[in-house]
């Protein structure tokens, strides 16, 4: 079975990047020449998703414009015979991909954001991608890897990786039963536990494949950690009804929700970009980059 729909919760305020994000959503910040959100939608499309569901807030309308028609720009590029640029712009959304937008009026948490997309998803398994977590696997993308695991287990699949013990309070943390090198059965999950209370150092990163039963659980959920409606709490409840598997993906994750992670991601993708790679390497090795 393939996963056809992906939710992108992008209603957050992005306060960690102020003032840059006063007008521009953090998901629209560029990594070389593409906004963060486009890496996420490309990963979904590579995994076979053909319906992208954005959960946005009023202030995130520029995301909508990024994926919308650009008639004036297209016309200008045609007139100037800039066919290569025209292709870059039309490649943002390949033919046949459907786009949906749902508004999340209040920032009530990730669980609430996912619930906002219930009607669009319906009764089929779906993906959730948090664009802040960029994952570079040099191949088809983390979600493609997860779709394979989903087809083997026919259950919800949650991407995880080991983090520093002192960082457990930044993530959903799981305890698991070992199945194979990369796949485990989830036993428990807790949102942002203090290091001394964390059941492990295996942290949830921003990729989920979820069965639609999660929606009823989200619907009846109270506020959790941080006073928000937490997806983690609904996954914990799901464990009472279904198996859930965790997947330790191949690839490197960049936390673009933090300044340092964002800069590391920029460097990573720039060092792979044919236009800037050589020049950037030369600059880095020239001794011009000093620790002031």
Binding site for ligand G1P (CB under 6 A): 110, 130, 133, 171-172, 191, 203-206, 230-232, 257
Q: Compare residues 93 and 104 and give the one whose CB is closer to ligand G1P.
A: 104
Q: Compare residues 144 and 246 and give the one whose CB is closer to ligand G1P.
A: 246
CA–CA separation, 3 vs 284, rounded Å?
Answer: 41
Residue 197 burial (CB count, 10 A) = 10
Check residue 96 and give left, alpha or beta (phi > 0: left; psi -120 to 50: alpha): left
CA–CA separation, 269 vs 273, rounded Å?
Answer: 6
- Whole-number minimum distance, CB 162 to ligand G1P, in Å? 13
- Whole-number minimum distance, CB 281 to ligand G1P, in Å? 30
Q: Compare residues 38 and 230 and give the one whose CB is closer to ligand G1P.
A: 230
- Whole-number minimum distance, CB 72 to ligand G1P, in Å? 36
Q: Compare residues 11 and 130 and give the one whose CB is closer to ligand G1P.
A: 130
- Whole-number minimum distance, CB 186 to ligand G1P, in Å? 13
Q: Compare residues 27 and 133 and give the one whose CB is closer to ligand G1P.
A: 133
- Whole-number minimum distance, CB 9 to ligand G1P, in Å? 8
- Whole-number minimum distance, CB 130 to ligand G1P, in Å? 5
- Whole-number minimum distance, CB 195 to ligand G1P, in Å? 15
Question: Of all residues in this chain, which one has the CB nearest to ligand G1P in the complex?
Answer: 172
Q: Compare residues 171 and 247 and give the one whose CB is closer to ligand G1P.
A: 171
Q: Could you tell me how many residues make up the chain? A: 292
Q: Compare residues 14 and 172 and give the one whose CB is closer to ligand G1P.
A: 172
């Amino acid at each position: 079975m393939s996963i056809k729909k992906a939710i992108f919760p992008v209603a957050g305020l992005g306060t960690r990047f102020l003032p840059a994000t006063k007008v521009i959503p953090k998901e629209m910040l560029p990594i070389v020449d593409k906004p963060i959100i486009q890496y996420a939608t490309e990963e979904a499309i590579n995994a076979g998703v053909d319906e992208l569901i954005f959960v946005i807030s009023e202030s995130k309308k520029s995301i909508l414009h990024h994926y919308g028609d650009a008639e004036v720009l297209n016309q200008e590029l045609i007139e100037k015979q800039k066919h290569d640029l025209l292709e870059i712009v039309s490649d943002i959304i390949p033919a046949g991909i459907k786009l949906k937008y749902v508004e999340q009026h209040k920032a009530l948490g990730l669980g609430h954001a996912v619930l906002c997309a219930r009607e669009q998803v319906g009764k089929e398994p779906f993906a959730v991608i948090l664009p802040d977590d960029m994952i570079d696997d040099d191949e088809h993308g983390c979600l493609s890897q997860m779709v394979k695991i989903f087809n083997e287990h026919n259950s919800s699949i949650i991407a995880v990786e080991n983090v520093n013990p002192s960082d457990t309070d930044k993530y959903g943390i799981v305890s698991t039963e070992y199945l194979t090198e990369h796949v485990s059965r989830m036993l428990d999950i807790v949102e942002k536990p203090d290091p001394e209370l964390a059941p492990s150092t295996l942290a949830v990163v921003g990729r989920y494949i979820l069965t639609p039963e999660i929606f009823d659980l989200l619907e009846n959920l109270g506020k959790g950690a941080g006073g928000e409606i937490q997806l983690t709490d609904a996954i914990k409840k799901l464990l009472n009804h279904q198996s859930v598997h965790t997947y330790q993906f191949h690839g490197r994750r960049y936390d673009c929700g933090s300044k340092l992670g964002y800069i590391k991601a920029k460097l990573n993708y720039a060092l792979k970009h044919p236009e800037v790679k050589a020049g950037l390497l030369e600059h880095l090795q020239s001794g011009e980059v000093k620790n002031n």
